[in-house]
């Protein structure tokens, strides 16, 4: 979400926290940090209690800590750091049964001066008819690289923006890759060059449109690393009033999971993240889930956007609350999500 937030932050002030995780987990085996894989039986009992326990603070902590580490140098599009992030994401796809949609997981951008890649995975639907309909679940994995130095630190680690959304999408991919049962087909897209003007999502939306993809909806995740404060809902969706996505999600969640943030409308966030190119190309519900409300995080595009201030419990809970909703949306007999 570019530019508009700078304006907003200039006009509004505040900030939040979390814990460090042993990083060995992340490099050795990205697909199965110890103790995080729940058996089907455990999942069933958890469902009865209403909250899935597939993801954990340890698991999301391991993933986001690596993505937002100094080693990746702020993941600017075209940099060595983002190349390491791409390899890491491919490893998680490969180790969790997420297939390639194109020849490889790499979708090379055609609208950026340096070599840059979206990382795209695919899980075919199980229903003979519904599998011809697609849901895209996405997030941008790039960030800006460097920012205004503070005490000698110039790396913009981009933990909240958007290693958090990337981590959530990778957890969704791990779930559907392992447990499947998705009647419609799913494309998982990690976009590059969002910070350069939504270039990765613009490229992919155009390409898939040219290939006549039968897209049902695009669900994007952006800046979900810290919880909303003082709201009666867990996360908001951009373009709330455009469609019935929030109502459908809350019906499936059996709680007010998704709400309306007036500031998001005021700053037109609907047009400021990777959902928008899919909206313009396909005209189908394409919206972004977010928990950044201009008051709960004041390190936007600053070197202070570090993993140490991310809330791992919140991020794991977001994943565990969202998976059942995604599953019900993906498996619904009809296309119930519509623009108004
Ligand atoms: Zn962002």
The mean pLDDT of 263-275, rounded to a whole number, is 97
Residues above pLDDT 70, as percent of the chain: 85
pLDDT at 80: 98
Produce one character per residue of 66-95: b if its CB has 16 or more CB atoms within 10 Å, e if not: bbbbeebbbbbbbbebbebbbebbbbbbbe
Domain boundaries defined on the chain: 4-26+39-331
Q: What is the mean pLDDT of residues 55-68?
A: 97
Give residue 198 CA to ligand 1 midpoint distance, Å: 10
- Of residues 30 and 74, the one with the higher pLDDT is 74
Has residue 10 got a pLDDT over 70? no
Stretch 161-183: mean pLDDT, rounded?
Answer: 96
Lowest-pLDDT choice from 4-18, 51-65, 103-117, 302-316: 4-18
Confidence of residue 40 (pLDDT cuts 50, 70, 90): low
Q: Ligand 1 centre from 46 Cα, in Å?
A: 32
Statement: residue 13 has pLDDT above 50: no
Query: d(Cα 331, Cα 128) in Å, to the nearest integer?
Result: 12
Measured in Å, residue 71 CA sits from the centre of ligand 1 at 19
Distance 56 CA to ligand 1 centre (A): 23
- 296-312 burial, b for 16+ CB within 10 Å, e for fewer? bbebbbbbbbbbebbbb
What whole-number distance in Å separates Cα of residue 326 and Cα of residue 235? 14
Summarised one tens digit per residue, pLDDT across range 288-305 is 999 999 999 999 999 999
pTM for this model (two decimals): 0.88
Cα 169 to Cα 92, 145, 330, distances in angstroms: 11, 21, 15
The rounded radius of gyration (Å) of the Cα atoms in the chain is: 18
Instruction: Compute the distance from residue 194 Cα to the ligand 1 centre, in Å.
Output: 7
What is the CA(38)–ligand 1 centre distance, in A? 31
pLDDT number for residue 146: 97
> What separation in Å is there between the alpha carbon of 222 and the centre of ligand 1?
6
Alpha carbon of 35 to ligand 1 centroid (Å): 30
Quick: pLDDT tens for 239-252: 999 999 999 999 99
Tell me how far apart the alpha carbons of residues 28 and 23 are, in angstroms, rounded to a whole number: 9
143 CA distance to ligand 1 centroid (A)?
A: 7
Q: Does domain 4-26+39-331 have CATH number 3.40.630.10?
A: yes
Please give the pLDDT value at position 289. 98
């Amino acid at each position: 979400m570019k530019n508009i937030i700078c304006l907003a932050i200039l006009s509004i002030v505040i900030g939040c926290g979390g814990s460090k995780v042993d990083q060995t987990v992340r490099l050795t085996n990205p697909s199965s940090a110890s103790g995080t894989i729940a058996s089907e039986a455990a999942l069933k009992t958890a469902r009865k209690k209403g909250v899935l326990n597939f993801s954990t603070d340890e698991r999301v902590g391991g993933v986001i800590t690596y993505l937002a580490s100094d080693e990746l140098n702020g993941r600017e599009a075209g940099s060595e750091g983002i190349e390491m992030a791409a390899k890491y994401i491919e490893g998680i796809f490969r180790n969790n049964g997420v297939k390639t949609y194109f020849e490889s997981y790499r979708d090379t951008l055609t609208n950026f001066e340096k070599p840059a890649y979206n990382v795209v995975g695919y899980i075919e639907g199980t229903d003979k008819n519904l599998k011809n309909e697609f849901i895209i679940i996405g997030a941008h994995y790039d960030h800006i690289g460097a920012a205004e130095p503070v005490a000698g630190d110039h790396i913009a680690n981009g933990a909240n923006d958007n290693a958090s959304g990337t981590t959530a999408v990778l957890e969704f991919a791990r779930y559907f890759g392992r447990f499947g049962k998705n009647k419609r087909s799913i494309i998982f897209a990690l976009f590059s060059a969002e910070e350069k003007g939504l270039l990765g999502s613009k490229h992919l939306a155009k390409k898939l449109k040219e290939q006549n993809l039968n897209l049902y909806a695009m669900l994007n995740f952006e800046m979900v690393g810290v919880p909303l404060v003082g709201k009666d809902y867990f996360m908001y969706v951009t373009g709330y009033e455009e469609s019935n996505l929030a109502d459908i999600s809350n019906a499936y969640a059996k709680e007010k999971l998704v709400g309306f943030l007036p500031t998001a409308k005021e700053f037109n966030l609907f047009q400021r993240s990777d959902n928008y190119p899919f909206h313009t190309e396909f005209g189908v519900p394409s919206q972004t889930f977010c928990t950044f409300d201009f008051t709960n995080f004041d390190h936007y595009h600053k070197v202070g956007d570090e993993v140490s201030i991310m809330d791992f419990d919140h991020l794991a809970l977001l994943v565990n609350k969202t998976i059942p909703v995604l599953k019900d949306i993906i498996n619904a007999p009809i296309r119930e999500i519509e623009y108004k």
